[in-house]
Chain A
Amino acid sequence: MAQLEGGGGDDHKKGPGVKKAKKLSTRVDMTPMVDLGFLLITFFIFTTTMSSPKALNLNMPKDTKKEEELNKAKESGALTIMLGKDNAVYYYEGQLAPDGSNFKSANFGSGEGSIRTEIINRRNSVIKNHVHDDNCPKIWAENKGDKNSCLDRDLVVVIKPDQDATYKNTVDILDEMTINNVKRYALIDITPQEYQVIQATEAGSKK
């Protein structure tokens, strides 16, 4: 530790009879200062918030009853994701079959059977099946002539959280849209028919 050093040790160099002058050391005891310094460091480490919150944009459409203003989703490119109780995710492609045969469940995460894999697969298949048509040049113009920009034009993800879904799941799935570069998605209320299927699935999985 840094300490005050006494003037001892070099007396013998001086000749006999020479009065020892009290030599004041210039060394200052730094211990209390160091103590205080570390105390403050500890305090600031604990109080600091390194990551400031960020804003996730969400745009909702205006409620409209006019048929011509509504965006139509192509059945081939539509993916409907439903959020249920206890972080459950369900999805179906295109229209929901009356017998619920294309209704599948997934999980949050990134591995096999996760909703992310499903979104990526869906996006890839939409891109593969894309054929350039008259509507494409408009999208190219918006993206500085990038001819790849309209490949995923037909991909529309419809997000339907049900009554039991949490806010976290809703944000997670919106985030998933950003992560997988899905440009067109919508947050819509669940239909009673879909809710029934979810309820049936949830009841079935408990047994």
Chain B
Amino acid sequence: MPSVKIPKKSTFVDMTPFVDVAFLILTFFIMATKFKPPEPVEINTPNSVSTQELPESNAVMVTIDKLGKVYFTVLSEKDQSIYKSVIDDINTSRNLGLTPAEKANYAKTYLVGVSFTQLKQLLDAPEALQAKQPGIPVDTTGGELTYWVQSAKSAFAGQRLQFLIKGDNTSKYPVFKDVITALKKNDVYKYNLITAPEDAPSGTELYKERHKAG
């Protein structure tokens, strides 16, 4: 007896395209992700319309946190010997009497935010004290930061060197001015302020300029 065959519809859905897309997105995020070194001090930078990229190397970074504490960083990924010459220079010029082990520890400290008298203590245990540094003393004449910049300048002698200033939104202007003073004392007049990108507001000169070109 012929029976009417009702075609059985499968509830099975082909997941292959879905999986394909998922892995495509995954690949994109893996490629686009750039791991940043964990920063011991949290800084919320202001926004600007600037589009200039930051230098990764051959730069000196001065960080100002929200309490107005100042930190000093030498960025030199390619040439590790720079760290050594900076700390050697500081050691001799400020007569700190650091041991070779303490000097070697300098390369491990991402930020230095202590006065010269406390530097020895910091370099004895760089990891433990990293987060709670009191900041490099600065004042209207530049303070100790002047000597750090001086040492960095001599370590990078003959190379291109950029000066980055990374300030927190809520830090006060006088601290920024003191940092500028310290840099000015070393004949540094060009700075790069680290900012987060933002779009040019519509209707302004810059907006017209960019949209004309683009």
Interface size on B, residues (CB 8 A): 60
**Residue numbers in A under 8 Å from B164 (CB-CB):** 55
User: Which of A40-48, A90-98, A99-107, A132-140 forms contacts with chain B?
Assistant: A40-48
Binding site for A on B (CB under 8 A): 12, 15, 18-19, 22-23, 25-26, 29-30, 32-36, 45-55, 64, 164-165, 167-177, 180, 184, 187, 189-197, 200-201, 203-207, 209
Whose C-beta in chain B lies nearest to the C-beta of A169?
A: B173
Chain B min CB distance to A63 (Å): 7
Query: What is the distance, in angstroms, from A81's C-beta to the closest C-beta of chain B?
Result: 13
Chain A positions within 8 Å of B30 at CB level: 40, 44
Number of interface residues of A (CB under 8 A): 53
Given contacts A52-B53, A55-B193, A181-B209, contact A171 B33 (CB under 8 A): no
Q: Determine the distance from Cα of A38 to Cα of B200 in the docked complex, in whole angstroms.
A: 35
The answer on a CB contact under 8 Å between B15 and A41 is: no
Main DSSP-derived SS at the A contact region: mixed
Task: Give the B-binding residues of A (Cβ under 8 A).
Answer: 1-3, 5, 30, 33-34, 37-38, 40-41, 44-45, 47-63, 83, 110, 116, 120, 161-172, 174-175, 178-181, 189
Once bound together, how far apart are the Cα atoms of A61 and B50, in whole Å?
21
Complex contact B33–A175 (CB within 8 A): no
Interchain CB contact under 8 A, A170 and B173: yes
Return the chain B residue nearest A57 by Cβ.
Answer: B192
Determine the distance from Cα of A162 to Cα of B176 in the docked complex, in whole angstroms. 12
